[in-house]
Amino acid sequence: MKSYREELWFETKTRRAYLNITAQVDAAVQKSGVREGMVLVNAMHITASVYINDDEAGLLHDYETVLERLAPQDATYRHNDTGEDNGDAHIKRQLMGREVVVAITDGKLDFGPWEQIFYGEFDGRRRKRVLVKVIGE
Amino acid sequence: MKSYREELWFETKTRRAYLNITAQVDAAVQKSGVREGMVLVNAMHITASVYINDDEAGLLHDYETVLERLAPQDATYRHNDTGEDNGDAHIKRQLMGREVVVAITDGKLDFGPWEQIFYGEFDGRRRKRVLVKVIGE
Amino acid sequence: MKSYREELWFETKTRRAYLNITAQVDAAVQKSGVREGMVLVNAMHITASVYINDDEAGLLHDYETVLERLAPQDATYRHNDTGEDNGDAHIKRQLMGREVVVAITDGKLDFGPWEQIFYGEFDGRRRKRVLVKVIGE
């Protein structure tokens, strides 16, 4: 069994951002040399997500609208009594998910026609990481 | 390490549908010959989900109600400015999740008493796929 | 390839509870002897979650508030026509997720600074299980 590990670092200029990281994950899979296996891609921070969906600007705007409706930034969060102001970001991350697992087949990400891997940032403007872990043969 | 890959194809008659696909995934695991490992089951389309929950008709109705409340089909979505009408389906899929990973133990899906794997379709009436990828020994 | 399986059992005193199970999962990874691989941690019941987020009391309270807003315990659920009273718990579990997959690197859970694994119980006061499955080398 082969394994490979890589960290991707991000620092978004805005509090929230949605970054297509498919090319970086694909490059890590190539470096791993794994032809058949799985790759785990997860946020290493608890106010960010890794998820798979369409790379379409309107949709990213819709996520923003829905997440603000379900967990508004300016609502009251007990978590913010600690001095933090990111209670909403913890909730948004939970709704969007922490991680994806993608099959590797013939050395490639085994994707449907529109699948793209995104880093969803909900409390940005500082350096944060994503873990890419590949296992297989 | 062994690996095995199979696609399951679906074409639902309704826009939304919830299909129990446990038997198909179990059959794929049998074909893989894997006795100890993991199986990844994911929607290959971005307006559909694979998730695990109860196979109970009332609950499927409740999902329908909750998802329509959280992301109504007839709400305004920027994504629909592209000419699509499935903005809601992208959101619903996100809330229900893309994938499940299930342990394989002694050659079987290692499940609790009520766990069943479902394909959740949120923009159906066309051919769409689920990927089953098995790795292990 | 090595594999290892362990069940963790819980019986919460309250209907809903959020338990930090990181130490138990870490102990299972140690027992597995796996140095490079992945660990799957999933609820074996369909009214409970395994998720990763911060171990901060205010945040746990916020989850409670948000989940009760999105899927109130006292709302009407068709599922409850079966005689059950846990329709809300099926929905809450779905929003919080069933499982996490965590990378194992150098024999340890490969975590960011604040990541902690939680068992989220939404219909407790009875014995329920979490599955820990480790694969790797």
pLDDT in tens, C56-111: 999 999 999 999 999 999 999 999 999 999 999 999 999 999 999 999 999 999 99
Q: Burial of A84 by CB count in 10 Å (0-12 exposed, 13-18 middle, 19+ buried)?
A: middle
Over residues C2-12, mean pLDDT: 98
- The token pair at A80 is 């913010």
> For residue A71, what is the nearest residue in chain C, using CA coordinates?
C66
**Residue-wise pLDDT tens digits, A56-86:** 999 999 999 999 999 999 999 999 999 999 9
CATH superfamily of C2-75+84-136: YjbQ-like (2.60.120.460)
Contact C39, C134 (CB under 8 A): yes
Strand partners, C130: C8, C43
pLDDT at B22: 98
- The token pair at B127 is 């051919």
The domain segmentation of chain B, as residue ranges, is: 2-75+84-136
CB spacing of C110 vs A135 below 8 angstroms: no
Neighbours of chain B (3+ CB pairs under 8 A): A, C
pLDDT at B110: 98
* Percentage of residues of chain A with pLDDT beyond 70: 100
pLDDT at A105: 98
Contact C46, B54 (CB under 8 A): yes
CA dist., res. C73 & res. C88, Å (int): 5
Query: Which residue intervals of chain B are DSSP H helices?
Result: 22-32, 57-70, 87-96
Residue whose entry in the numeric block shows the structure tokens 């790795």: B135
Question: In whole numbers, what is the pLDDT of chain C averaged over residues?
Answer: 98
Q: How confident is the model at residue A54 (pLDDT cuts 50, 70, 90)?
A: very high
Over residues B95-101, mean pLDDT: 98
Residue C74 contacts B, CB cutoff 8 Å: no
